[in-house]
Amino acid sequence: MSDDESSGHPPIPQGRLVLVRHGETEWSRSGQHTGVTDLPLLPEGEDAARSVRPVLQEFSFVHVRCSPLRRAQHTAELAGLEVDTIDEDLREWDYGAYEGITTAQIREELGYPWTVFEHGVAPGETRGETVEEVAARASRVLREVWSQLHEGDVALVGHGHALRILTGVYLRSEPRFGRNLEFATGSVCVLGHHHEDPVIQAWSRRR
């Protein structure tokens, strides 16, 4: 019997959850909200994706899951990851009417210091999502990969806001915890456990 079982706690996975944010695109460079728009990586974004290969080689991946958007899939390829599953739940937040618009532009239009985590989005060409809906998708992803984390490390390749919200869910915090995290394009974050507590082991690594 393991220490976790003998203590009454459910078994804690030994694998680490490795989050990879896609490399830079034209809109991530300019600060435009990029949810459903399927933009390619810039050359600098491709370079950043290649540069995290040495970081990812530190892990023994038993499973790699990726957003369907091409900026994420191309990042996975350039970073040397072999994707097992394309997961719709790893898509970026659907920003609705704020797709393609910067925070500064939204604040000028609304007349107050809007943030996506606090005030949410408005419907546009798409309905948009609440932070709770993005968190529900994150919860489904975490349920899907939980058994694999007992076998080894798991990589999730996706997008800044969605992965920040997923981190909040993983840490058993509320989804808006993600507003306190800055996740650079073309970087890697590592989630694990200290005893039975979920923890951040590394954040926004590029080297």
Q: b/e map of 111-134 (b: 16 or more CB within 10 Å)?
A: eeebebbeebbeeeeeebbebeeb
What letter would DSSP give residue 161?
Answer: H
pLDDT given at position 124: 97
Catalytic residue IDs: 22, 92
* pTM metric for this prediction: 0.94
- pLDDT given for residue 9 in this prediction: 61
| CA distances (Å), origin 110, targets 107, 119, 151, 161, 166 | 5, 11, 49, 21, 28
Give the pLDDT confidence score for residue 11 in this predicted structure.
86
User: Over 90: is that where the pLDDT of 10 sits?
Assistant: no
pLDDT at 63 over 50: yes
The string of pLDDT tens digits covering residues 70-123 is: 999 999 999 999 999 999 999 999 999 999 999 999 999 999 999 999 999 999
How many Cβ atoms from other residues are within 10 Å of residue 27's Cβ?
19
| Beta strands, E only, 95-196 | 153-158, 188-194
Res. 55: pLDDT tops 70: yes
Q: What per-residue confidence (pLDDT) applies to 2?
A: 44
CA–CA gap between residue 4 and residue 45 (Å, rounded): 42
User: Residue 62 belongs to what H/E stretch?
Assistant: strand 61-66
Domains of the chain in start order, with CATH, are 10-28+40-95+130-205 (3.40.50.1240)
Cβ-proximal residues to 133 (8 Å cutoff; 6+ apart), any chain: none
Task: Look at residue 6 in the predicted model and tell me its pLDDT.
Answer: 46
d(CA 59, CA 45): 22
pLDDT score, position 181: 97
